Structure 1
């Protein structure tokens, strides 16, 4: 990629917590920028293809000031964060307060005022960076929970812009959201957008309910009518709201997807197919390979699925000589204490099950705590017989859709948590409640012994669904919702 320092104003800007590229030092001391792994990057890359655009985000290094730069048609605007801001805004407010609160309080969220202050300060910095690069009347698309204040801040700086916000994780029911001391500030921030998108209908409904409970704004689903001079009700210094003019904010569901064609292209290469066969051989050619692919996160239900698998081995329903579970858990937020504890717990669980049922030449569970190349991931998808996607709560989960897209042979069975956004679309998967260990065990056995004709029919229907609802449809649906929208005041 050709790098320049040219950073013109553009009419399409994406704002996310991280830039979609990482700096890798070279032998001569220069940075080489490579594409980052992750679902958000994979989803947005097709949207950016062939378009001159800007991407605003943190470059991945604390206490580092980087000037904007360009690679091909994309202009990157790095936003700096100090080590303290990284600890308070990202590890603290974003991932120890908002993340657990929005994921059904699987672990207790922490509430610290200094974290909130840092979150506010960093959001303002992102808004200013986006405002500096957006063309007059351009479009800015803000991504996810780390930046929920940016839409309103950006509207204050640049009222000419069209602003979209997409929320990639769940939005909680009001009974949970109400715990947040800064709930009004969050809602006020989100309502700065013209369109606020969610993965599921229920998430959009939860936000509209929160707006109704806190602000009492008029709405006609999915439209919320926000006063042009809206302010926080508890701000005694703001001028009074006349409510004579409102603008329409669409709060709706736009389920995200992926670029199926790109995955099919990779999964059908000779090298990936050959590697998938090697993986089966390396695992001893068992009858059934179960596969889990996740970030190491307490929301993903990894310990629940391993418990179910371990009990099946203990009962003798499955034999370690015939079945193996491969669990890839990529490193995540390793400076956060709850994540370090989770890693220790899962590694102890894996060690116990392997100690009880594994053999020297064949462990019952192959546990990999590492990042993996896209090609190796595709080979794993092709090698496995049963894909296990069982989060306790997830906005969408693109791993399920990646697996389905890769299986051009129409083989393999998907076991899917009903608490994922993907469950709304992939109804030919075997649905499970990951808290129900017995139910999960039944699904594992059913998947392992499913007749070929039934498995083929299910996979063909799953593939057709993902093909129809691909990332271009997601992006087009969202952009079409924003493009005709003009913030014309109404009386």
Structure 2
């Protein structure tokens, strides 16, 4: 191809593009006007939603003057022509001065829902938005009139800008394409000349022509386009999460993979049948509402004694059984496999390694081999349950660190999000693990790896840098390994808002009375509560020692306070957990003996509480202690705050729990400092109700705005961007390869 040919094609391209630009211009006006109308409708709806409480009040009071003042403030918006109120008799009882004289309430398109209609008044096209308002006297309407003449002006401006922009872009792109083609052609010719010279000298053929610079530019442009923040305007609910999922990931096949199942079926001798239990797990508390909102399939270990009896021939069951929302697919793990995979490598190895609470991790080759085998079993189940070749897979926690890479090998187009629910230690600490490279590489099979905090993200990237040969882009927090890129992101997990358990619970005062009776306490007793699993990372002994220290320094609290600690037994096969429970029981007895009075100080309840019972305990307490020695987030703190719709109660929170970065109005403590903990308990029990309310309101607002649906929405939106990015890169690569000379 000669330079004249390139020039001829360039001129032809400009001519064609110009014809196309003018050809689509007639449609521009209609599109802009339709967009303008949609914008006006949305603005009218927003105004109605904003003033509805004041509107309802004034209508109920028949305070028409006050209503007119409200309308005048609304009409300060330059785009709003007039605002009025039509009563049930069709009369205009309140309106702004700019209301057209020929406007009549009788012309409204009255309906039970909002309505929008265009009218012509004084030579102007006006949009009339009518919103029904119900009152004791009947149905009336708020009307908002907007002058649409601005749409015509906007359409003309957009058309002019469009034509100018198209002409400029076409010109620049065409000239740029010609220059690029000339340079590529010249480069190819130079390469051919060098090849001829090398052949003449008896050397090898020409080096391959690569497009690495183009690839880098494509990557850069796509990454720049991805920096779109999560909107703060969404009110995150199950419905809005569904809308995000359907809008950002239309038709996506969502799969959750975790060791813990959300519903456990057990035989019960007491109830003579099968009972359903929801486990005491932060992971389940966070993910179960999401699955109810989005549907899909949850793949988990079937651990209940009656689990096999409740599934179908494909090991599936619809849950919740009362109102099926998604599918639970159970994986079967033998007791021997459980000893190696779960109790061994996951909980004697990774758990203490990541939590750094001075319990030595134990690593055995047999446990590691079992861990690999069970991870492969979960990965195989994902492949079997996937309805498409590009599902969205949410891999949960440290039990399944190898699964992302295993899934990636079988489903290369899958969007895999791994969320690590526990802390990630620094590189030096993680270096203790003999199979650290395998674990990191397994996780890097993910599209996104999520942690609770930025600190844990930084630790993970440092570990990748130390132990795995890869390319790290710290500014983007991305790791490339084997041609696949993984993004590392913080996603602070949260809880459902409002918690559904609150709907059936009595007021706080009644909950308190029930607790006083249940534990045989006097009416004036101040109640401190703690709810955990019996786990050495939770600081159960430390909070009991703090209560002991408070009573020792201030005996006046004797018989005036009680500490109720609910601790569900867990991992009792492991010596460290069995030892903890024995130590806690002995310490409780010792403290009760030391401060013996009319009633016990420590009430240790070593049993599982259902969520409703936990919230009843929270609502009746004066204070809740969360003294984790090291924790990813700790949702108990958020559940306590969410339970206190009376705005009373004080949260005492460890600085080593991820929740302390969000709930700064709690009393933040160092759980290793017994005296500081004792002072915090004293302060909590003495805090004025006004201060409690102010702190609680701020924390409740934080949890409401950053609930579990927002957490899931952030992850799903990032997943959607990654899917789009991968598809664009694939198309760009194919197009780029098509440009190379053969």
The Cα shift of 1:163 comes to 0.7
Q: What is the distance in 2 between the residues matched to 1:62 and 1:221?
A: 49
Match of 2:267 among 22, 25, 29: 25
Q: What is the distance in 2 between the residues matched to 1:382 and 1:195?
A: 38
The Cα shift of 1:285 comes to 2.0
User: What secondary structure is seen at the aligned counterpart in 2 of 1:57?
Assistant: strand
The Cα shift of 1:440 comes to 1.1
Q: Describe the shift of the 1:56–1:458 C-alpha distance in structure 2 as closer, same or farther (beyond 3 A).
A: same
Stretches of structure 2 that go unaligned for 5 or more consecutive residues are 1-250, 319-323, 734-742
When normalised by structure 2's length, the TM-score is 0.60
Q: What is the distance in 2 between the residues matched to 1:339 and 1:200?
A: 27
Aligned to 2:315: 68
Q: What is the distance in 1 between the residues matched to 2:276 and 2:621?
A: 33
Match of 1:441 among 647, 671, 678: 678
Contact in 2 for aligned 1:222/1:252 (Cα 8 Å): no
Aligned to 2:534: 296
User: What secondary structure is seen at the aligned counterpart in 2 of 1:483?
Assistant: helix
Match of 1:283 among 500, 521, 541: 521
User: What secondary structure is seen at the aligned counterpart in 2 of 1:251?
Assistant: strand
Aligned to 1:218: 472
Q: Describe the shift of the 1:263–1:411 C-alpha distance in structure 2 as closer, same or farther (beyond 3 A).
A: farther
Q: Which runs of 4+ in 1 moved over 6 A?
A: 26-30, 62-66
The Cα shift of 1:278 comes to 1.8
Q: What is the distance in 2 between the residues matched to 1:20 and 1:405?
A: 21
Q: Does residue 59 of structure 1 match 2:59?
A: no
The Cα shift of 1:355 comes to 1.1
Q: What is the distance in 2 between the residues matched to 1:325 and 1:36?
A: 24
Stretches of structure 1 that go unaligned for 5 or more consecutive residues are 1-8, 231-245
Q: Which has the higher contact order (CA 8 A, sep 6+)?
A: 1
The Cα shift of 1:18 comes to 2.1
Contact in 2 for aligned 1:21/1:35 (Cα 8 Å): yes
Residue-by-residue CA offset, 1:12-33 (whole Å, 9 max, x unaligned): 1100002211112378997555
Contact in 1 for aligned 2:401/2:439 (Cα 8 Å): yes
The Cα shift of 1:346 comes to 0.8
Aligned to 1:121: 373
Q: What is the distance in 1 between the residues matched to 2:352 and 2:276?
A: 32
Q: What is the distance in 2 between the residues matched to 1:177 and 1:383?
A: 42
Aligned to 1:270: 506
The Cα shift of 1:379 comes to 1.6
Aligned to 1:39: 282
When normalised by structure 1's length, the TM-score is 0.89
Q: What is the distance in 2 between the residues matched to 1:312 and 1:29?
A: 46
Contact in 2 for aligned 1:10/1:134 (Cα 8 Å): no
User: What secondary structure is seen at the aligned counterpart in 1 of 2:458?
Assistant: helix
User: What secondary structure is seen at the aligned counterpart in 1 of 2:600?
Assistant: coil
Contact in 2 for aligned 1:127/1:154 (Cα 8 Å): yes
User: What secondary structure is seen at the aligned counterpart in 2 of 1:49?
Assistant: helix
Q: Does residue 103 of structure 1 match 2:103?
A: no
User: What secondary structure is seen at the aligned counterpart in 2 of 1:276?
Assistant: helix
The Cα shift of 1:300 comes to 0.5
Q: Describe the shift of the 1:62–1:26 C-alpha distance in structure 2 as closer, same or farther (beyond 3 A).
A: closer
Trace 1:55-454 onto structure 2 (pairs within 5 A): 55-60=298-303, 67-71=314-318, 72-136=324-388, 137-214=390-467, 215-227=469-481, 230=482, 246-263=483-500, 265-266=502-503, 269-270=505-506, 274-281=510-517, 282-359=520-597, 361-454=598-691
Contact in 1 for aligned 2:511/2:619 (Cα 8 Å): no
Contact in 1 for aligned 2:278/2:610 (Cα 8 Å): no
Aligned to 2:62: none
Aligned to 1:234: none
Q: Describe the shift of the 1:331–1:467 C-alpha distance in structure 2 as closer, same or farther (beyond 3 A).
A: same
Contact in 1 for aligned 2:345/2:371 (Cα 8 Å): yes
User: What secondary structure is seen at the aligned counterpart in 1 of 2:254?
Assistant: strand
Q: Describe the shift of the 1:325–1:117 C-alpha distance in structure 2 as closer, same or farther (beyond 3 A).
A: same
Q: Describe the shift of the 1:263–1:429 C-alpha distance in structure 2 as closer, same or farther (beyond 3 A).
A: farther
The Cα shift of 1:56 comes to 0.7
The Cα shift of 1:34 comes to 4.6
Q: What is the distance in 2 between the residues matched to 1:141 and 1:49?
A: 15
Q: What is the distance in 1 between the residues matched to 2:301 and 2:325?
A: 19
Contact in 1 for aligned 2:669/2:677 (Cα 8 Å): yes
The Cα shift of 1:294 comes to 0.8
The Cα shift of 1:418 comes to 0.3
Q: What is the distance in 2 between the residues matched to 1:475 and 1:314?
A: 46
Residue-by-residue CA offset, 1:127-175 (whole Å, 9 max, x unaligned): 0001110121111110000001000000011112111111111011111
Contact in 1 for aligned 2:383/2:407 (Cα 8 Å): yes
Q: What is the distance in 2 between the residues matched to 1:73 and 1:270?
A: 28
Contact in 1 for aligned 2:357/2:537 (Cα 8 Å): no
Larger radius of gyration: 2
The Cα shift of 1:10 comes to 7.7
The Cα shift of 1:106 comes to 2.5
Q: What is the distance in 2 between the residues matched to 1:31 and 1:419?
A: 40
The Cα shift of 1:117 comes to 0.5
Q: What is the distance in 2 between the residues matched to 1:224 and 1:453?
A: 46
Q: Describe the shift of the 1:407–1:264 C-alpha distance in structure 2 as closer, same or farther (beyond 3 A).
A: farther
The Cα shift of 1:264 comes to 6.9
Match of 1:12 among 244, 254, 258: 254
The Cα shift of 1:105 comes to 4.3
RMSD: 2.3
Q: What is the distance in 2 between the residues matched to 1:64 and 1:441?
A: 45
**Residues paired across the two proteins, number:** 464
Aligned to 1:241: none
